[in-house]
Structure 1
Amino acid sequence: MTVAQILNAKGKNVYSVLSTTTVYEALKVMGEKNIGAILVIDESDLKGILSERDYARKIILKDRSSKETFVHEIMESTIFSVQLSNNIEDCMELMSSKRIRHLPVIEDGIVVGIISISDVVKAIIEIQKDTIQHLNSYISQ
């Protein structure tokens, strides 16, 4: 299964904020959209990603104010991404080795989606269900 197939199943919505947005405003968007991370895009350029984990570790635990801190101050600017043609094994390997939970999907320099570890796990479960069904069918013959 490819990243393109995962996005076709889940949707290609891309939510983003500017790097000059306050963390509080970014969290409001994340809450409204029910997402755990949001991309930081300035003038069509992917600058970083902000996650709930960043908020917890860089605002709450450091006793900072989310209303006075800008996204660029705490976002993760080292970005790992995938393309539509990557398969789920590539994604799982990258997520595991880099200890990340979200991967922007980029084609021709443009963000076309984002997948989470949950999306990858769901895809693997579906593949395993299909395999089990095929094996059961084969054994029953």
Structure 2
Amino acid sequence: MKVSDILRVKGNTLYTVHPDEHLAQAVQTMAERDIGSLVVMEYGDLVGMLTFREINLVLARNGGSVGTMLVRTAMDDAPLTCTLETDMDEVRRMMLGCHARYMPVMENRMLMGVVSFYDVAKAVVDSQNFENKLLKAYIRDWPQEEPSQAQS
């Protein structure tokens, strides 16, 4: 299974933010949209990711306030990325290795979507459920063995 398969099912709704936007506004957008990340774009290029992890770090450092901080000061400026052709096993390995919950999907410097750890887990479970259904159907239709003549 490839990243493109997940995006096909998930859809291509993207939420982005500019690095010079106020962090409080980005937090408001995330809360209103019930999303855990925003892709930070500047001049059409990916420059970072803002997730609830980065926001929590800012809140911890500043006594629970984001004040007038900008997204630029909180974002991860070197996020992991993948392509539409990246295999899901590779995405899972990358996400687990770096504790990443969100990964931008890039194709020739163009943002194609974001894959979350939830998306990856759901794809694995759906794939396993489909495989289990096929195996159960195969077992149910297992041909009966003819009793051998030697046993008489």
Normalising by the residue count of structure 1, what TM-score does the alignment of the two structures yield? 0.95
Identify unmatched segments of 5+ residues in structure 2: 142-152
C-alpha offsets along residues 28-47 of structure 1, whole Å, 9 cap, x if unaligned? 11112211011110111111
Give me the whole-angstrom Cα distance separating, in 2, the residues matched to 1:75 and 1:2: 27
C-alpha offsets along residues 77-134 of structure 1, whole Å, 9 cap, x if unaligned? 1111010111211110000011100000001111010010000000000100011011
C-alpha offsets along residues 6-38 of structure 1, whole Å, 9 cap, x if unaligned? 001011111111000111000111112211011
C-alpha offsets along residues 46-100 of structure 1, whole Å, 9 cap, x if unaligned? 1101111111112244326424100110111111101011121111000001110
Alignment partner, residue 145 of structure 2: none
Give me the whole-angstrom Cα distance separating, in 2, the residues matched to 1:85 and 1:50: 24
Between 1 and 2, higher relative CO (CA 8 Å, sep ≥ 6) is seen in: 1
Please give the root-mean-square deviation of Cα atoms over the aligned residues, in Å.
1.2
Alignment partner, residue 6 of structure 2: 6
Q: Which has the larger radius of gyration?
A: 2
Normalising by the residue count of structure 2, what TM-score does the alignment of the two structures yield? 0.88
Alignment partner, residue 58 of structure 1: 58
Are residue 16 (structure 1) and residue 16 (structure 2) matched? Answer: yes
Moved over 3 A (4+): none
Give me the whole-angstrom Cα distance separating, in 1, the residues matched to 2:47 and 2:124: 30
Where 2:91 maps in the other structure, the secondary structure is: helix
1:49-128 aligned at under 5 Å gives the runs: 49-63=49-63, 65-128=65-128
